[in-house]
Structure 1
Amino acid sequence: MNPESIDIVPYQKQDYEAVCKLLVESFKAKFQALVTLEDQDIQRLLMKVWVQDPNPSTMKQFVVKENQEVVGVLSLKWKAPSTSLPKTKPISWTPLVKQFGYFNVLKFWIGMHALEYTPAADECYIDHLAIRSSHRNQGIGRRFLAFAQQFTIESGFHVLTLHVAHKNQGAIRLYHKLAFEVEQSKYNALRHFGFKEPVWHLMSWKGTKLHSRREHH
């Protein structure tokens, strides 16, 4: 796939199942650290627990497709104005416990909760970025990040942020190449318990910094 020909398009409701499948494939090790379930059951559980309709005033998702199939997904979120707080659909826990088991559901919920992050008022946050394994190292991740940077500037945010596990050095190198810097590194007990990854970095990209670099060249 030629990076120049990659089209990033808005997520649509009919992409939901494909996106869940992609997330399970991309973050397989993390999900398997949480629950003792097969991939298909992890996908079913994710589809029951994960918010299906992101609030357009606080979150946007984008996908890359090849032959109508989703091969990449990017989710951006920001702080909700006090007048438009997102409405969350209540989850029916009893059938989930019956289907997947109490401890699987509990650990899954704790894991999802551990990944929650509330951006500041002037901050755009990459909630997740996932690419199908067969389409990695083809420039999609770099295109997604450049797209997120452009979205940040055009939407009037001052900073673009993301979390990355310390172990994921490949991703950290890519972020550094695109002018992201480590803002803070923290031990997170919930993420350690859930994902066996104790140290996480909050990385940030500031659009003005990139502009000033260009001006100096």
Structure 2
Amino acid sequence: MMKSSFTIEPMQAKYNRQVSQLLVHAFSGKFSPLTRMGEGDLALLFEELLDAFPGEQSSQRVVAIHEETVIGTLCLKWKPGAGDDTTAPLPSARLSEMRELARFGRWKVFKLLTALHVLSHEPQDGECYIADLSVHPLHRGKGTGKLLLQWAHAYAVCQPQWTFLSLHVSGNNAGAKRLYEQVSFHTQEEQHRLLLYVLVREWQWEYMILPLEPTEHRAGEESL
């Protein structure tokens, strides 16, 4: 099958709308039943969340761009370092934007934020965590997801403090698991999470890791 040609760039605010639509394509099956929101409203809500919270210092989101269109996105997270400012208050403009979320319905927003919080993972020492990976439906099966994962691996091996990449995948998502195995992830632990079943009807999860070998770190540093 023909592969997409694209570039991988750091996330910018101008991509928020397209990224929010990608996230809905990937996760509406979890969040639409929970919030009882259509995909259009859910995408608008994600866009406002991206506007209000552009990212933490201990994270990096990238986008795959094909012909000026975002066709994929991936977000990495890691444990905050001693120099990271994780306690700074939100500017008043951000608080104002958060108040605007009430127009979607306070209970719907609360349920979505609760689910996002429960789904979140706090990386440990040495861990670089893939928080999400989304590819546009028209570009799936063309190598976009695999190349984003390979970018994440190349990025991680340049950071000597990290010893492994990690992610979670639903036990019901066999296609995603095969993709991760193609780039050498393996299941470290099978988890059963009652709260996530209550929220998004997903009971079984697999925690997968990809160890980063010391020789890879040296090669990554030499390539810089």
Report the TM-score when normalising by structure 2.
0.84
Residue identity matched to 2:42: I
Q: Please, which of 121, 129, 132 is the counterpart of residue 136 of structure 2?
A: 132
The runs of 5 or more residues in structure 2 that have no matched partner are: 217-224
Q: Is the 8 A contact 1:62 1:74 kept in 2?
A: yes
Give the stretch that moved more between structures: 137-146 or 88-97.
88-97
Specify the alignment match of 1:31 in structure 2.
31
Deviations 1:99-156 (A, max 9, x none): 2223312211111111111101211110111000011000011111111111111122
Task: Note closer, same or farther for the CA distance 1:81–1:53 as it changes in structure 2 (3 Å cut).
Answer: same
1:96 aligned to 2:97?
no
Specify the alignment match of 1:53 in structure 2.
54
Task: Note closer, same or farther for the CA distance 1:44–1:88 as it changes in structure 2 (3 Å cut).
Answer: farther
Task: Note closer, same or farther for the CA distance 1:112–1:95 as it changes in structure 2 (3 Å cut).
Answer: same
Residue identity matched to 2:48: K
Q: Please, which of 180, 187, 191 is the counterpart of residue 175 of structure 1?
A: 180
Report the TM-score when normalising by structure 1.
0.87
Q: Is the 8 A contact 2:163 2:212 kept in 1?
A: yes
**CA drift at 1:178:** 1.6
Specify the alignment match of 2:72 in structure 1.
72
- Mapped partners of 1:193, 1:210: distance in 2: 43
Q: Is the 8 A contact 1:126 1:161 kept in 2?
A: yes
**CA drift at 1:82:** 2.9
- Mapped partners of 1:114, 1:199: distance in 2: 14
- Mapped partners of 1:105, 1:138: distance in 2: 34
Task: Note closer, same or farther for the CA distance 1:94–1:151 as it changes in structure 2 (3 Å cut).
Answer: closer
Q: Is the 8 A contact 2:73 2:134 kept in 1?
A: yes
- Three-state SS of the structure 2 residue aligned to 1:8 is strand
Q: Is the 8 A contact 1:33 1:196 kept in 2?
A: no
Matched residue pairs, number? 208
Residue identity matched to 2:132: H
Task: Note closer, same or farther for the CA distance 1:210–1:21 as it changes in structure 2 (3 Å cut).
Answer: farther
Specify the alignment match of 1:148 in structure 2.
152
Task: Note closer, same or farther for the CA distance 1:210–1:136 as it changes in structure 2 (3 Å cut).
Answer: farther
- Mapped partners of 2:43, 2:99: distance in 1: 18
Task: Note closer, same or farther for the CA distance 1:88–1:41 as it changes in structure 2 (3 Å cut).
Answer: farther
Residue identity matched to 2:78: W
- Three-state SS of the structure 2 residue aligned to 1:82 is coil
Specify the alignment match of 1:113 in structure 2.
117
Query: What is the root-mean-square deviation in Å for CA atoms of aligned residues?
Result: 2.1
- Mapped partners of 1:209, 1:180: distance in 2: 17
The runs of 5 or more residues in structure 1 that have no matched partner are: 212-217
- Three-state SS of the structure 1 residue aligned to 2:61 is strand
Q: Is the 8 A contact 1:16 1:52 kept in 2?
A: no
Specify the alignment match of 2:194 in structure 1.
189
- Mapped partners of 1:88, 1:63: distance in 2: 27
- Three-state SS of the structure 2 residue aligned to 1:75 is strand
Q: Is the 8 A contact 1:33 1:194 kept in 2?
A: no
- Three-state SS of the structure 1 residue aligned to 2:107 is helix
